[in-house]
Amino acid sequence: MATTMHTSKTIPGPRTLPLLGWRASIFKLYSDPFRYLSHLYATYGPVVTLSKGDASYICAFGPELNFALLSNPTLFEVSAGPMEKLAQDTALVRVGGHSLQMMRREKHKQQRRLMQPAFHKQQVAHLLTDMVTLTSLMLDSWQERTEIQLYREMELLTRDIVVKTLFGLDDKAEIEHLGSLLERMVSSLMLALIAPVNLPGTPYARMQHMAEELETALQAMIARKRSQGETTDLLSVLIHAHDEDGATLSDLELVSHAFTLFTAGHATTTDALTWALFLLSQHPQVTADLLDEVDGVLHGEAPTIEQLQQLPLLDYVIKESLRLLPPGGIGQRKAMAPCELEGYELAEGTTIIYSEFLTHRLSELYEQPDRFLPQRWATLKRTAYEYLPFSAGQHRCIGSEFALLEEKITLAMLIQRYRLEGISNARIDLGLEMRPKHGMTMRIFPQDRQFKRVPVRGNIRDLVVLAE
C-alpha cells in the first residue's frame, strides 16, 4: 500500500561508479533486461534502487507491489515519455501524442469509456471473418516454401489484420500501403525521439513527413466513414461512439487512437504468436495434444466463435506462452507526490520499474516457473496482479480480447496445415522489446505429425527450460 509518510530506511541496490550512477544499471537493463531484473530481485529483494544511495530509479517486484502501482493511477502515473517534451503543434504529436495510453486521470476515464464498446467481446467477434480470411491467405502463400522467417510472417499477418479490422479496407493494395506506412512509423519512432532535431535528412524530419502523410490519410478516412454511416470496423464504431452526455471522440483523438491501436495490436501480437509457435516447436508432446484437440473439433476447417470455446488446451497454450514470454515484460510508473512503498520513502518524480516477466516467474505463484506447462491452467487461478500479460488496473490493454481472438484463430488454423521445425542450433536471443533479436527461421512441412524438437542456442535457454 502506498501512503505519504517519512522513513529513514535506505533502499538496497547495487553500487555504481559516481559519474554513471543509475545510468550504469539502465545500460545493463537494456542489454540483458530479464536476467538483470532476476539478478536484482534475487540479490536485493522486492524493492531495489538502480544505484545505491540514489532513489531516482527503483524497481518494485511482485503482485502486492504491482497492485500498489497499477491500482492507484493518480499517485503512480503513466509516463508519456519523450513525446510529451515535443511541440504540441507537430504532426508527430497530433498522430501519436493523444493516445489512450498517454492520457491520465479524468481524461483517460472518459476516453476509455467511449472506446470500450468497440472492444467488447461481442463486437470483436464480428471481426473473426476478416481474421480467418487473412490467415488463410498467409497459409496459402506457404504452400511452395520450405522455410519461412517466422517473426516476419507473423508481423505481416498481424499488420494486415489490424489494418483490415481497424479501418475496414477491402482493397489489398490499400491495406498494404497504409500498413507499410504505419509499420515504418512504428519502427522509426524511437530513433526519431532520441534526437528530435528537425533538420533535413534526420530521422526526426523523416518521421515528421511520415506523420503528416499518415494524418492526411486518416483524416480523409474519418471524413469518408462519417458520411457512410456506421459499419463493423473498429474505426467506424469509434467514430459513432458517444457517452451518456453525448460526448464523442474528436478527429484529433480518433487519429491518435487509430495509430496507437495499430502499434499495440501489431507489435505485441506479433511477439505473442512468434513465441507461442516457438514454444510449441520445442515441446512436441504439447503440440501433438493440441493438434488432436483442434482436429477433433474443427476437422480441418477454420474455427467459429462457438468452436473456440471448445478448445481448452489452445487457451492454456496461449496463457502459458504469455506467462513465460509476455510481450510487455517491463513497465514503469512515475510517483506524482512524495509517498511510501513497502516502507521506503519515495520522492515526487521517482521512476518505478515493475515487471510482468518477473512476476510470472515467482515460484510461490507458479510451480516450476521456467517451464512451459500449459496444463497448469486447467486448475490454476491467478489474480490480475499475479498474471498480467496485458497489464492491470485502469490502463489494462483495451484490445486484449481482440489479441486473444487473433492468436487463437492463427494457431488453430496453422497447426492443422503445417508442422514448424526450428533450425538446429539457431541462436534465439531476447532483447528489451521481447522479440527475437536475430529473427527466427523455421522449416515448414505439410502437417505430418512428425513432431520433434531441435536444439537452439542463445539467451532463450536462460529464460525457459526447454523440453529435452
Residue pLDDT, tens place only, 289-327: 999 999 999 999 999 999 999 999 999 999 999 999 999
> 190 or 47: which carries more pLDDT confidence?
47
CATH of domain 22-463: 1.10.630.10
Average pLDDT of the segment spanning 104-115: 78
Q: What percent of the chain has pLDDT over 90?
A: 53
Q: Work out the angle at residue 183's Cα, subtended by the Cα atoms of residues 332 and 85, and round it to the nearest 5 degrees.
A: 45
Query: What pLDDT is recorded for position 7?
Result: 43
pLDDT of residue 82: 55
Which grid cell is 386? 499475479
Residue 229 near residue 197, CB atoms below 8 Å = no
Give 40's pLDDT tier (boundaries 50, 70, 90): very high
Where on the phi/psi map is residue 258: left (φ > 0), alpha (ψ -120 to 50), or beta? Answer: alpha
Whether the pLDDT of residue 87 is over 60: the answer is no
- Of 439, 268, 322, 358, nearest in space to 35 by CA: 358
Compute the distance between CA of residue 272 and CA of residue 329 in angstroms, rounded to an integer: 11
The number of angstroms, rounded, from the C-alpha of 431 to the middle of its chain's C-alpha atoms is 14
Residue 329: CA atoms inside 13 Å, Cβ hemisphere, count? 27
pLDDT at 6: 39
Cα–Cα distance measured from residue 13 to residue 2, given in angstroms and rounded to the nearest whole number: 20
- Say if pTM beats, i.e. exceeds, 0.85: yes
According to the per-residue pLDDT averaged within each range, which of 9-18, 169-178, 453-462 is highest?
A: 453-462
Q: What is the distance between the alpha carbons of residues 379 and 360, in angstroms, rounded to a whole number?
A: 17
- Residue range 372-376: average pLDDT? 98
Most confidently modeled range among 69-78, 160-169, 277-286: 277-286
Q: Collapse the DSSP code of 420 into the 3-class scheme (helix H, G, I; strand E, B; otherwise coil) and give the result.
A: strand
The residue ranking higher by pLDDT, 22 or 284, is: 284
pLDDT for the residue numbered 84: 59
In the chain, the percentage of residues whose pLDDT exceeds 70 is 93
Q: Which helix (H) or strand (E) holds 159?
A: helix 150-167
**pLDDT tier, 3 (very low <50, low <70, confident <90, very high otherwise):** very low
| Residue 86 pLDDT greater than 60, yes or no | no
Over 90: is that where the pLDDT of 237 sits? no
Query: In sequence order, what DSSP letters do the residues of 191-238 get, joined into one string?
Result: HHHHS----TTSHHHHHHHHHHHHHHHHHHHHHHHHHH---SSHHHHH
Note whether 395 and 73 are within 8 A (CB). yes
Q: Binding residue per annotation — 59?
A: no
- For the chain, the domains span 22-463
Is the pLDDT confidence value at 85 over 70?
no
> Which pLDDT score, from 0 to 100, does residue 4 have?
38
